[in-house]
Structure 1
Amino acid sequence: MTYSNPDLDRLRTYAPRIAEPADFDEFWHDTLAAATARPALVDVRPERTDLRLLDTWDVTFAGFAGDPVRAWYTRPAGQDAPLPTVVEYAGYGRGRGLPHERLTWPVAGYAHLLMDNRGQSGQYAVGDTVDPHRAAGGPWPATWGILDPRDYHYRRLITDAVRAVDAVRALPGVDPTRVVVAGNSQGGGLALAVAGLVDDLAAVLVSAPFLCDVQNAVALVDPFPHGPYGEIGRYLAVHREAEAAVRRTLSYVDGVTFARRATAPAHFGIGLRDTACPPRTGFAAYNHYGTGRSSVPEREMHVYPFNGHEHGEALHVRRQLRWLATVVERAPSA
């Protein structure tokens, strides 16, 4: 499908009623309680990168079920003071890659943790974290364990994302009161989930988010070529009897439901011609953001009418940098 002439006014008010499981909060409380029973950090080792202006460490932390999850921790060289820190989540089919691939945040003066995606490396970037709990479902990560929310891949990945925040707060040189979560596409969906599960973040940066308004997204996106929503559609095209179970599972990971519970200031970016993550699904998360709280946090949206899943690219990053600088400066430091 193509969003060549979207009704932007309608998108700005699009706030669908999302089916929320009655035990949603209990489900995630119990999941995270089991994970946080263990210390977050497992191993931290200096990593040689040949970049003289930055220092990098290879970090291993305990994710879902205590599984070892890898990450790169990078910061400006020679700075010992606690820094505001960006925890970044990668897109679908990506691992953490090599430590010199994502340098925007440390070059801007932030500490930076880039989390590996368990079991997803190989499509667009390499990774070093396996997913040992893969359950019945389709052949793609978006369908692993999709018949039961307790077995679903995204239960594990979202838990890892929360634990990445716990881990970064235990690292040297991090100001624990100024931790930001950020991501694009799948990473944006993970950032929204963490925003709904962790109350004391300094800010949230989300662009082209996946896992939002999921029931509608699966219906909107053409299964060919696939991509994560298409993969779910292709699974249902074969397993026609599984629709009710799949819908139930997806209701536990919808970014809109997490967004309603968020408290941190948020910065969004969306391309109106995005066919991978339809813009209305991202607007659903934005319009619901913080509405489940007593006061709605500061938030802003940047729209790119002629762009697709790439949204504003470098221009949007510049807007993120300028917005985040003002937010972090306002936040009390440790």
Structure 2
Amino acid sequence: MMLIDMPLAEMKTYLGSSPLPKDFDRYWAESLAELDATPPELELTPAKFQSPNAECFDLWFTGTGGARVYAKLLRPAKASGKHPAVVQFHGYSANSGDWSDKLNFVSAGFTVAALDVRGQGGLSQDMTPIKGTTLRGHIIRGVDDPDPKKLLFRNIYLDTVRLTRLVMAMDDVDETRVGAMGGSQGGGLTLACAGLVPELNRACAVFPFLSDYRRVWNMDLAKAAYEELQYYFRQFDPTHAREEEFFERLGYIDVQNLAPRIRCQILMVTGLMDTVCPPSTQFAAYNKITSRKEHVFYPDFGHEWLPGNGDLIFQYMLEMLQ
């Protein structure tokens, strides 16, 4: 296998190169407290799309900063008793997807909630007022604001928490059998959600984004989904005078720093030829997880469709039916 990253043996012990802010735990404790103090203002209305085996709803809630956040909610028609649920997170710039691609889980007896990330391809609002650039992406949105709580991904991570908790609180959902899943940005959000909602039963993160930003930079892979890192330095810090400050600020929203907080079981899937989210950045998060975990490799695949991966995840979540 051709190497595009460090050797696999080294990646299996790699713990990341991006910094951990000294007040990281306090930052997230205060952020969760802010979320708790924000009334959710849940709104659930029947969707235009319906299916014989599913009840489909447009779900809206209020997140931090007063943003109204949207998700698709589907639950089994004529379900009796409490059942498991999965919360789904999408890739960077996309949206929650079609209703019909969630019916496999509904048919198996799951409630499904799929988030539209703020300000991306769906319906959720981006209401974060910040000082600094808003042109080149969501990782750097708020990085120059005096208040690190203005980082957009901080608020997006809190949206995953709110949606997951709302699902757990539903009368027909067994709160002990809720899983989270997603790929790329969705994989990063899955890890963030698992780190901030320790009650999750399980999570599956496929080639997670949003991990070990400095490693991405040092590999000269600040392109594609990470191109905003290069944009920031070229436009706002061309001599890298504030490089340490920049990466420390991003440390608040680096999922490898949230990984040690994960308590649920984890399935991670990595393509070892991934040049969008380099494998070592994914290992940086995986290696810090101390709960029950499994890592599946696709040696010849990159950031792309992975044969059999959808079936693998489906079977992994089906274990909650037992």
CA distance in 2, matches of 1:49, 1:84: 22
Secondary structure of the 1:19 match is coil
Task: Describe the superposition over 1:57-86 as per-residue Cα deviations: whole angstroms up to 9, x where unpaired.
Answer: 110112123421110111222214221111
Q: 1:237 aligns with which of 234, 239, 246?
A: 234
The answer to whether the 8 Å contact 1:236/1:242 transfers is no
Structure 2 Cα separation of the partners of residues 61 and 154 of structure 1:
17
1:213-271 CA deviation, whole Å, 9 max, x = no partner? 22212332434xx3331222222122115534321221111111111111100000000
Give aligned pairs, total. Answer: 314
User: CA separation in 2, counterparts of 1:232 and 1:270?
Assistant: 23
Alignment correspondent of 1:133: 128
Aligned residue runs from structure 1 range 44-55, under 5 A = 44-55=44-55
Once residues 316 and 46 of structure 1 are traced to their aligned partners in structure 2, the CA distance between those partners, rounded to angstroms, is 31
2:28 counterpart of 1:28:
yes
Q: Taking structure 1 as reference, are residues 14 and 104 closer, same or farther at Cα in structure 2, changes over 3 Å only? A: farther
Give the CA deviation at 1:165. 1.1
Report the Cα distance in structure 2 between the residues aligned to 1:138 and 1:71, rounded to whole angstroms. Answer: 24
CA offset digits 1:136-162 (Å, max 9, x no partner): 224122221122422211111111111
Check 1:19–1:131 CA distance in 2 against 1; reply closer, same or farther (3 A cut).
same
User: RMSD in angstroms over aligned alpha carbons?
Assistant: 2.1
Cross-structure match for 1:150:
149
Unaligned runs of at least 5 residues, structure 1: 122-126, 291-296
Equivalent position of 1:124 in the other structure: none
Q: Which amino acid is the alignment partner of residue 129 of structure 1? A: S
**Separation in 2, partners of 1:83, 1:205:** 19
274-283 vs 4-13, which moves further:
4-13
Identity level (%): 31
Give the distance between the partners of 1:172 and 1:131, measured in 2 at CA: 30
SS in 1 for 2:156: helix
Whether the aligned pair in 1 keeps the contact of 2:273 and 2:301 (CA below 8 Å) is yes
1:20, distance to aligned residue in structure 2 (A):
1.4
Q: What is aligned with 1:277? A: 277
Give the aligned residue type for 1:192: L
Matches within 5 A, 1:182-261: 182-223=181-222, 226-240=223-237, 241-261=241-261
Distance of 2:296 and 2:46 partners within structure 1 = 37
Q: Normalising to structure 2: TM-score of the pair? A: 0.90
Could you tell me how far 1:10 is from its partner in structure 2?
2.1
Report the TM-score, using the length of structure 1 for normalisation: 0.87
**Relative to structure 1, is the Cα distance of residues 329 and 97 closer, same or farther in structure 2, using a 3 angstrom cutoff?**
closer
* TM-fit CA distance, 1:4: 5.0
Q: CA deviation at 1:101?
A: 4.2
Q: Is the 8 A contact 2:53 2:106 kept in 1?
A: no
C-alpha spacing 1:38/1:138, structure 2 compared with 1 (3 Å): closer
Taking the aligned partners of 1:105 and 1:274, their CA distance within structure 2 comes to 28
Structure 2 SS opposite 1:69? strand
Q: Is the 8 A contact 1:84 1:110 kept in 2?
A: yes
User: Secondary structure, in 3 states, of the residue corresponding to 1:142?
Assistant: coil
- Alpha-carbon deviations, 1:178-218, whole Å to 9, x = none? 11111111111111112111221100111110111222123
